[in-house]
Amino acid sequence: MPESRSSKEMILIRHGQSTANASGVWQGKLDFPLSDLGREQARTAGEALADTRLDAFYSSPLSRAFETAEIVARESGFDGDIIPVDGLIERGGGAFEGNTWPERERTMPDLIAKFRSVPEEEGWAVIGAETDEEILARFAPAISKILASHPPGSRIVVVAHGGVMRAFLRDLFGEDILTGDERAENASITRVEWPEGAPPRLTKLAVTSHLPDTTDAARPSRPNAPTSE
């Protein structure tokens, strides 16, 4: 149960590793399937929730997220419907969508230099990607609508993406959350409590203790570089 019957709890899960994550491609709104590792990650995330009562499942409709939701639901014992929500899809990546960092360095060095020279939010605009403000204009109302659809005491699972989840959590809890190029790992579990009449509480952030001991191949090793979101 959430901490009190007047609270709602949302369990935010980033999708498992996709084939694009595995090769370092920033996928954005492009649709890539889960890798074999991603399916294993989703399975272990579901097992981690097997003793938890879950009342509803929502997911981005992109296949890497929706398949993650299907696997998590199955392994956790949830037998209801998974509801796709368009507002949960990943950040559009503009010029960086569909390519790797080495490819960008080779083909667009001037754009990379400009991207690195400005604050993050300006950088998204420089490359033609969705800014955090634009993400929040669709993601936050989607979350609000999901929460409003369930009574106090509910526990709701939402499967989404690293970029949009980061923008949302930083908007709620401040810029100390997932700073720099940090993202929630694939198939990590984040928990947020919404007490009635009080601000939300971040109770767990990007927990990975349930996952196989692997490294996210998508994580960049240089400053001010977007991950393969």
Residues classed as catalytic: 15, 90
Closest by alpha carbon to 64, among 88, 36, 32? 32
Own/partner contacts of 194-198, CB < 8 Å, gap of 24 or more, are 194/7, 194/8, 194/9, 194/10, 194/147, 195/3, 195/4, 195/6, 195/7, 196/6, 196/7, 196/152
CA distance 109 to 221: 17
Beta strands in 74-197 (DSSP E): 82-84, 155-160, 189-195
CA distance 221 to 68: 26
Tell me which residue has tokens 């569909």: 98
Closest by alpha carbon to 1, among 82, 43, 80, 55? 55
CA distance 196 to 153: 10
A 10 A CB-CB count for 23 gives: 14
